[in-house]
Structure 1
Amino acid sequence: METAQLHRGRLIDHIQLVVADLSASRAFYRPLFEVLEIPIGGEADDYFWADELFISSRDSDAALGKLTGRHHLAFQAKDRATVDAFHSAGIANGGIDNGKPGERSYHPGYYAAFLLDPDGNNIEAVYHGPANRSAPSVVVDF
């Protein structure tokens, strides 16, 4: 019997980004995932993935030869220090500042930073504050 962790109530199951330069994307995303404590789940010459984000080259089987358009992806951070570290790691690895770490007006306690990845995607790390944490995920046995 296999145990998998399902995250009930999430709108998105997974996302695929098809990028122009997979090497540049690996160099950008790996340090961000390390800061967020999200391990690389798998990789090959034409893709890599972490959690539910799949990043592949244009020539991968799943890409059908086409790049994806510009996206905004927001990753959850465990605290403000992680948001700060995320932003620093992104800048150090080819990202472009698109909003320094700080409070945002979206709701009280919303602390975020924004980066543009090598393909121009708006990548965010957000900490919602201790009063706004999401409910825990559900563990299901198969």
Structure 2
Amino acid sequence: METQQLHRGRLIDHIQLVVSDLKASQDFYEAVMAVLDIPVVHTGDDFFWADELVVSSAESPAALGVLTGRHHLAFQAKDRATVDAFYRAALTHGGRDNGAPGERAYHPGYYAAFVLDPDGNNIEAVYHGEARRSAPSVVIDF
């Protein structure tokens, strides 16, 4: 029997992006997710997903033929080196610069990089520094 886990305390359960070029998006997201240690766990002819991110083509039944608009997604990174690697991988795999890695003024220790994915979504990797680490979420197996 497969165990599913419900993670209480997270704001978002899942996000779906409907993209114009699934192959370009899959190349981009597989590269940046690999750097972030987030596996792409399932793929199909018209979708793929990684953790709670689902990316599909407009032809996917769940998309209803409509592309999603521009979004900002921020992924947590384990350290500054991972943010740097995310940025390099994104630019190598179809992403465009939207803010090189560096400290941001949001709070002390906020280190992030921003790229635009192939559909123009603003994708960020952020490391909050040691001082901002939060307690782990509660995990409930069912």
Q: TM-score, normalised by structure 1?
A: 0.96
Unaligned runs of 5+ in 1: none
Letter in 1 for 2:50: A
Aligned partners of 1:121, 1:35: CA distance in 2, in Å? 19
Letter in 1 for 2:123: I
- The 8 Å contact of residues 6 and 137 in structure 1, kept in 2 or not, is answered as no
Identify the residue that residue 119 of structure 1 maps to in structure 2: 119
The number of aligned residues is 142
The two structures, once aligned, show a CA RMSD in angstroms of 1.1
Identify the residue that residue 100 of structure 1 maps to in structure 2: 100
Identify the residue that residue 9 of structure 1 maps to in structure 2: 9
Identify the residue that residue 132 of structure 1 maps to in structure 2: 132
Aligned partners of 2:113, 2:90: CA distance in 1, in Å? 10
Aligned partners of 1:104, 1:5: CA distance in 2, in Å? 34
Sequence identity of aligned pairs in percent?
A: 75
The alpha-carbon distance between structure 1 residues 135 and 4, as it changes in their structure 2 partners (threshold 3 A), is: farther
Q: TM-score, normalised by structure 2?
A: 0.96
Aligned positions of 1:1-142 closer than 5 A: 3-142=3-142
Letter in 2 for 1:88: R
- The 8 Å contact of residues 7 and 140 in structure 2, kept in 1 or not, is answered as no
Q: Can you list the C-alpha shifts for 1:1-20, whole angstroms capped at 9, x where unaligned? A: 76433322221111000000
Aligned partners of 2:45, 2:109: CA distance in 1, in Å? 40
Aligned partners of 1:141, 1:107: CA distance in 2, in Å? 34
Unaligned runs of 5+ in 2: none
Aligned partners of 1:26, 1:2: CA distance in 2, in Å? 26
